[in-house]
Amino acid sequence: MERIGVYPGTFDPCTRGHMDIIRRGARLVDKLIIGVATNPSKSPMFTLAERKAQVVRETADIANVEVVEFDALLMTFAERQGATIIVRGLRAVADFEYEFQMAGMNQQLNDNIETVFLMADVALQPIASRLVKEIAVYGGDIRKFVSHAIADDVVARVAQMGVRGQ
């Protein structure tokens, strides 16, 4: 039986931290489905289709990864994909509290799907998509936090939006 995992997120943008979790998560399963999610509580910089395309580009060298858009309850999406594992990355204690609560709720919805937490690489722990976007808006160099291709996408979008901090 093929072991399928799902790694959900908004990936707005996909960071080096996300890629660390994707690469490590892909080693734990036969197939890792990256679920690029809509999130009504966030105002993404990139459209769902753009975020999916970016993640597809970033993961092109990982054979057992598939990238899928989704706009559904995570457990419903995971069930539809035939997943038995949800992969989640942790950076700090604040992440743990939120993720612990989510894992508990997800277990109540379907206790046949396990949540597996991967600690982010120490060097990557401070990276957050929200902060990457903020640094870019203020003209900072974000290439330490995202690939050069993603950095180019973010810088171009900031210019297109005409947003520039002082």
Q: Using an 8 Å Cβ cutoff, are 118 and 87 in contact?
A: yes
Amino acid at 107: Q
The catalytically annotated residue of 51, 52, 129, 133 is 129
Burial class (CB in 10 A: 0-12, 13-18, 19+), 15: buried
φ and ψ of 87, to 5 deg: -100, 130
φ and ψ of 80, to 5 deg: -60, -30
Question: Six-digit token pair at 14?
Answer: 């996909």
Output the 3-class SS for 98-132.
Answer: HHHHHHHHHHHHCCCCEEEEEECCHHHCCCCHHHH
Residue 91 appears among annotated catalytic residues: yes
The catalytically annotated residue of 18, 52, 88, 133 is 18
- The rounded distance, in Å, linking the Cα atoms of 166 and 139 is 9
Q: Using an 8 Å Cβ cutoff, are 20 and 54 in contact?
A: no
Residue 42 appears among annotated catalytic residues: yes
The catalytically annotated residue of 3, 42, 130, 143 is 42
Task: Report the catalytic residues.
Answer: 18, 42, 91, 129
